Structure 1
Amino acid sequence: MSPTQNVLFIMCDQLRFDYLSCAGHPTLRTPNIDALAARGVRFDRAYAQSPICGPSRMSTYTGRYMRSHGSTQNGVPLRVGEPTLGDHLAEIGVRNVLVGKTHMVADRAGLARLGIDPASEIGVRAAQCGFEPYERDDGLHPDGGYDPAPAYDAYLRAQGFEAENPWEYWANSAEGAQGETLNGWLLVHGDKPARVPAEHSETAYTTSRAIEFIEGAAAAGEPWCLHLSFIKPHWPYIAPAPYHALYGPADVKPAVRSDAERAETAHPIFRAFQQERYAQSFAREEVRQRVIPAYMGLIAQIDDELGRLMRFLDDKGLRDSTLIVFTADHGDYLGDHWLGEKQLFHDVSAKVPLIVVDPAPAADATRGTVSRDLVELIDLAPTFLDWFGAAPKPHVLEGHSLLPLTRASAAGPLRAHAVSEYDYAVDGVRRRLGTQVRDCRLVMITDGRFKLITAPGFRPILFDLDTDPGELTDLGADPAQAETIARLTAALLDWYRGAANRITVSDGWFSDGDAAAEVYDLLLDPGILIGYWDEAELDAEIHKRAAWRAAPQKG
């Protein structure tokens, strides 16, 4: 039995917060994820820092908001030198290991400017967002040109699944009655089984690789933080048998949307996103009926594989020494609000599932509870450092440790507001609206009841989550809500002012020793003469410093 403390950090891609049975889904069964919730705390108001993969993950892996780390969209590199969870854990001797997806794009220009070889230890860490890439696979490589090629392709070939691009041909395509390939990217084929057997699918393979890593690390007795990052239930929406047939049209919940959301009076940005191809598709009920059962099947497979992983942890005696976190990078509209994909800030997109299983005895009182505290994905990095006993870094990490909440020791709420950001400069929405690239900035702030979305050049969007939990009525143009809008706008300005941009020194660099009178003057290098009038004044100051240094110091 390993006495070493570890972290198992599980993230699904594009998993909605409400597509778990423990979160109230009426027919989807997720018994193993539910078991995690029974052992820990399920946070019911957890928000991603961006409702799209790359920026959300960069915020999670750095513990910093998008406005601080600067990776504002998929494909925008995280700048070299930006501190990551891996950097912080390396300082205390903990391996930070990846199995699965990060959506990280390396700052190749920055590495070249600094003369850092991308193949060197430092270069790899910078290019992999601070992770040791035990198995990097973002899943999205339809043209076979992924660099480097994922090991999963070689694995499939070794199992006899030959193809120029086995990932697409076997794992993400179906087979027609005449043996023809049915493209899994096309929504119409969501009801068909993927060619690959379930035991060789991406979800099963990724879980097996995680087990392989843990087995080796446990044998070595070294502390680790393992990021097990599933690429499902993100599209292509196609599941292997039997998961493709576990659910059907009868399991599809009615879409949460209203005709008013499509009216000419609806917010221009909201209406522009409804015109995107994926939104037009998911506005059709036949698409929802075909895709959502496959989405549910992919979630069911993740749940089964997590059951296998949890049994392995128990067999290895790691249950009581491993902090387990289960979450997602963002949600999926699935036709709600006449939208598909993610991008905007309705809860089905920006809110994420979050379960924290803290094995410490101090957390026994909160097991199986549901927290209504506002929390964010940037809280995970400080939580992991806290778990390993490292000193907090509030001048770098903009989140807060969740352990005071799992252990019922928090003096109060961690925060009054949650914030999420999105840059729509790459979307057709920008061209549709004629917005300048620099103004394509959406920012959401919520206090748990009201949710405000701001957009340069447009009026705000406002929802009252208490009276309108489906977020169907935009109150942003309602004069009666002027005070609420002003209050949340002021809170958003406070958030902007609070950016942790001075990350090279802590607050203590300035404040330590403030209890001593005139400590700043007393500690100045006596060779630096600033502001003195004459020799007599300087001589008196020198004697004063000498007496202060000679006296016993308190604290």
Structure 2
Amino acid sequence: MTIHIEVNMKSHESKRRLVLTALVLACCGEALADADSTRPNILLIMTDQHRWDCTGANGNRLIKTPHLDRLAASGANFTHFFVQAPVCVPSRASFFTGRYPHSHRNRVNYTPLDRREVLMQNRLRDAGYTTASVGKLHYHPPNANEARRTGFDLVELHDAVPQLDRFSDYVTWRQRHDPQSNIGYRALASDIPVGRNPYRQAIDEKYSETTWVGERTRHYIRQLSSQEKPFFLFSSFWKPHSPFEVPQPFDAMYDDVDIPLPHKMSLDEIMQLPPPLRTLILRFRPSYDTDRERLLWMYRSYYGAISHIDQEVGLILDALDEAGVADNTIVVFSSDHGDQLLEHGLMGKNCFFEASVRVPFIIKFPGRIRPGNYNELIESVDLLPTLFEFSGIPEPYPNQGRSVVALISRAGGDYLPRRVVFSENVIPEVITGRRDEFEFVKGQGIRGIRHPDAKMVRTRRWKYIYYPEGFAELYDLKSDPQEMNNLAESGEFREQVYKMKDHLLHWLTTADEPDQIAPRWLRPIR
């Protein structure tokens, strides 16, 4: 880089200083350009509502995920990765800010993030990356302008909610390409034989949202890999989120598979749960007594949707190879939260059982990461500092996560494992805009739950959930992995409850130190 400066200076010393300054700037510019060319690309693939136990790599012998298993075998596969909130928007905000929900304060779906928060894509763009997003973002307002404001250069949206279809690039694409675009993308086929999957999707697989996300992701890999700058590409699939429609041939992939179903909860058992949790389970049209045959088809469709995503992931990994950038690309696969799938009588999420807060997490960086299964406790806020350390970018001051590079890097290093992980959520969930609303009212709470902000702390063996109105859950995960026996009210475990409360108090007291405590005095203003 050459800088030419032409100026009439009175002082020889001033000229000398200006020349030195120009040389320094030139060197810095060349260094930044070199850093851009050597920094790795980042591909973050995220699914929606994907349980941790629904990949072959995590021990599920029934589900077919060969490409995710291949990714796990060549990268670091974390078996105990926990999200900071078991619901879409707060969880995704934590992934992208590296901050806990009570800190970034985006606690409820379809609400805006505080504009003072700086997201991962903005920081990466400032570091010289081209940034792109395909699929679900779940920002508010839910449009491309908001996505660009947060730091994405290139955006193709699909939040997969009919009310937001006017913002969906997938819907626009389908109207142009699918000869049957008049059929809704959630519609079920009308010619399903008796005894076959009642959730077969009406539209062709090649026009489905899952295939669209895969195709557009590969398009951007080809486009962005041809430039000199590194890229950050967020590939975000809506599935396997309900409803359970799934296209052919994935609708029939598990027709003959007897997937184990969860314990059928009775109303009496549900009524024994803490009031915030049972209010969540019994809201709207409760599904705890869903017909078991229909539930089995839901599981088969859920598995089919994951196998469909797996197919697209395989093609995406192939695209990296074909573009010649696979060796310098960090690939991450994870999900924003899990799905109860009627465990504890609940469809969906919003609670702290393992099915909701524990998700798949795989990270691959050829030549830099030691492949293997890792069972350390990891949080979603740990992703941002990990990516930044691998990329040679300073950790942002507001970050609350911890890099795992020392744990998984071939170079090694000192890594202090987490003793505890945390999650938090508003229970029951705020849902408005319908006849039967769950609105938060100051001084009243939500449907009789005066203080609905619940907190979870989990160690290797124990899980404790704190509800501010005196309710609690305590599970011994060693003897009770299904979390069926709440020990919180047993005097025998009083000391364990105190220990878990201490963990929560310490976390809530220390997490916001960088936000709350100024590093030094300011000099007096003159």
C-alpha separation in 2, matches of 1:269 and 1:286: 29
Alignment counterpart, residue 110 of structure 2, candidates 40, 60, 75: 75
Alignment correspondent of 1:151: 169
Alignment correspondent of 1:228: 235
1:228 counterpart SS class: strand
Does structure 2 retain, via aligned residues, the 8 Å contact 1:45–1:372?
yes
C-alpha separation in 2, matches of 1:261 and 1:468: 20
C-alpha separation in 2, matches of 1:478 and 1:256: 24
2:348 counterpart SS class: coil
Alignment counterpart, residue 481 of structure 1, candidates 488, 493, 516: 493
Alignment correspondent of 1:421: 424
Give the partner amino acid of 1:237.
Answer: F
User: How far off is 1:332 after superposition?
Assistant: 0.6
Alignment correspondent of 2:63: 28
Does structure 2 retain, via aligned residues, the 8 Å contact 1:95–1:224?
yes
492-501 or 421-430, larger mean C-alpha shift: 421-430
Q: Is it true that 1:268 corresponds to 2:267 in the alignment? A: no
Does structure 1 retain, via aligned residues, the 8 Å contact 2:266–2:289?
no
Alignment correspondent of 1:543: none
Give the partner amino acid of 2:151.
Answer: G
User: How far off is 1:58 after superposition?
Assistant: 1.0
1:239 counterpart SS class: coil
- Aligned pairs, how many? 477
2:165 counterpart SS class: coil
Alignment correspondent of 2:11: none
C-alpha separation in 2, matches of 1:257 and 1:177: 31
Q: How does 1:382-393 map to 2 (within 5 A)?
A: 382-393=385-396
User: How far off is 1:501 after superposition?
Assistant: 6.2
Alignment counterpart, residue 294 of structure 1, candidates 286, 291, 301: 301
User: How far off is 1:379 after superposition?
Assistant: 1.2
Give the partner amino acid of 2:503.
Answer: A
Q: Is it true that 1:397 corresponds to 2:418 in the alignment? A: no
Aligned in 2, Cα 1:387/1:249: closer, same or farther, shift over 3 Å? same
Give the partner amino acid of 1:426.
Answer: V
Unmatched tracts of structure 2, length 5 or more = 1-36, 432-436
Q: How does 1:520-535 map to 2 (within 5 A)?
A: none
2:202 counterpart SS class: coil
Does structure 1 retain, via aligned residues, the 8 Å contact 2:94–2:101?
yes
- Tell me the alpha carbon deviations over residues 106-151 of structure 1, each in whole angstroms, 9 at most, x when there is no partner: 499xxxxxxxxx95xxx6533xx4333421111112x5x5342x22
Q: Is it true that 1:139 corresponds to 2:160 in the alignment? A: yes
Aligned in 2, Cα 1:243/1:103: closer, same or farther, shift over 3 Å? same
Give the partner amino acid of 2:186.
Answer: N
Q: How does 1:238-249 map to 2 (within 5 A)?
A: 238-248=245-255
- Tell me the alpha carbon deviations over residues 369-423 of structure 1, each in whole angstroms, 9 at most, x when there is no partner: 2111111111111122112101122x31111122222116342334221111111
Alignment correspondent of 1:517: none
Aligned in 2, Cα 1:278/1:210: closer, same or farther, shift over 3 Å? farther
1:146 counterpart SS class: helix
Give the partner amino acid of 1:483.
Answer: E
Q: How does 1:103-252 map to 2 (within 5 A)?
A: 103-106=138-141, 125-126=148-149, 129-141=150-162, 143=163, 146-148=165-167, 150-163=168-181, 166=182, 169-177=183-191, 191-248=198-255, 250-252=257-259
C-alpha separation in 2, matches of 1:173 and 1:337: 29
1:291 counterpart SS class: helix
C-alpha separation in 1, matches of 2:378 and 2:148: 28
Alignment counterpart, residue 51 of structure 1, candidates 73, 86, 89: 86
2:80 counterpart SS class: strand
- Tell me the alpha carbon deviations over residues 72-95 of structure 1, each in whole angstroms, 9 at most, x when there is no partner: 010121011211112221221112
Alignment correspondent of 2:7: none
1:175 counterpart SS class: coil
Query: Taking every aligned residue pair, what percent have the same amino acid on both sides?
Result: 27
Q: Is it true that 1:372 corresponds to 2:353 in the alignment? A: no
User: How far off is 1:348 after superposition?
Assistant: 0.5
Aligned in 2, Cα 1:328/1:26: closer, same or farther, shift over 3 Å? same
C-alpha separation in 2, matches of 1:78 and 1:86: 15
User: How far off is 1:499 after superposition?
Assistant: 2.8
Does structure 1 retain, via aligned residues, the 8 Å contact 2:47–2:237?
yes
C-alpha separation in 1, matches of 2:405 and 2:172: 41
Does structure 2 retain, via aligned residues, the 8 Å contact 1:191–1:245?
no
Give the partner amino acid of 1:217.
Answer: L
C-alpha separation in 1, matches of 2:274 and 2:50: 26
User: How far off is 1:172 after superposition?
Assistant: 1.7
Aligned in 2, Cα 1:477/1:294: closer, same or farther, shift over 3 Å? same
C-alpha separation in 2, matches of 1:330 and 1:463: 20
* TM superposition score normalised by structure 2: 0.84
Alignment correspondent of 1:531: none
Unmatched tracts of structure 1, length 5 or more = 109-117, 179-187, 511-519, 529-555
Question: What RMSD, in angstroms, separates the aligned Cα atoms of the two structures?
Answer: 2.9
Does structure 1 retain, via aligned residues, the 8 Å contact 2:199–2:244?
no
Alignment correspondent of 2:449: 435
User: How far off is 1:177 after superposition?
Assistant: 3.8
Give the partner amino acid of 2:375.
Answer: R
1:483 counterpart SS class: helix
Does structure 2 retain, via aligned residues, the 8 Å contact 1:261–1:337?
no
* TM superposition score normalised by structure 1: 0.80
Does structure 1 retain, via aligned residues, the 8 Å contact 2:132–2:152?
yes
Alignment correspondent of 2:415: 412
- Tell me the alpha carbon deviations over residues 36-88 of structure 1, each in whole angstroms, 9 at most, x when there is no partner: 11001111111111101111111111111000011101012101121111222
User: How far off is 1:504 after superposition?
Assistant: 10
Alignment counterpart, residue 9 of structure 1, candidates 44, 51, 54: 44
- Tell me the alpha carbon deviations over residues 271-313 of structure 1, each in whole angstroms, 9 at most, x when there is no partner: 3233134642564313312211111111011111111111111
Does structure 1 retain, via aligned residues, the 8 Å contact 2:125–2:151?
no
Alignment correspondent of 1:471: 483
Aligned in 2, Cα 1:279/1:386: closer, same or farther, shift over 3 Å? farther
Alignment counterpart, residue 363 of structure 2, candidates 341, 356, 360: 356
Alignment correspondent of 2:508: 496
2:218 counterpart SS class: helix
Aligned in 2, Cα 1:258/1:15: closer, same or farther, shift over 3 Å? same
Q: Is it true that 1:450 corresponds to 2:485 in the alignment? A: no
C-alpha separation in 1, matches of 2:165 and 2:102: 29
Alignment correspondent of 1:101: 136
C-alpha separation in 2, matches of 1:194 and 1:342: 23
Q: How does 1:87-98 map to 2 (within 5 A)?
A: 87-98=122-133
C-alpha separation in 1, matches of 2:156 and 2:523: 51
Does structure 1 retain, via aligned residues, the 8 Å contact 2:328–2:365?
no
C-alpha separation in 1, matches of 2:285 and 2:381: 29
Q: Is it true that 1:460 corresponds to 2:472 in the alignment? A: yes
User: How far off is 1:161 after superposition?
Assistant: 2.8
Alignment counterpart, residue 316 of structure 1, candidates 312, 315, 323: 323
Give the partner amino acid of 2:302.
Answer: Y
Aligned in 2, Cα 1:474/1:249: closer, same or farther, shift over 3 Å? farther
C-alpha separation in 2, matches of 1:50 and 1:176: 38
Does structure 2 retain, via aligned residues, the 8 Å contact 1:16–1:331?
yes
Aligned in 2, Cα 1:290/1:226: closer, same or farther, shift over 3 Å? same
C-alpha separation in 2, matches of 1:177 and 1:46: 41
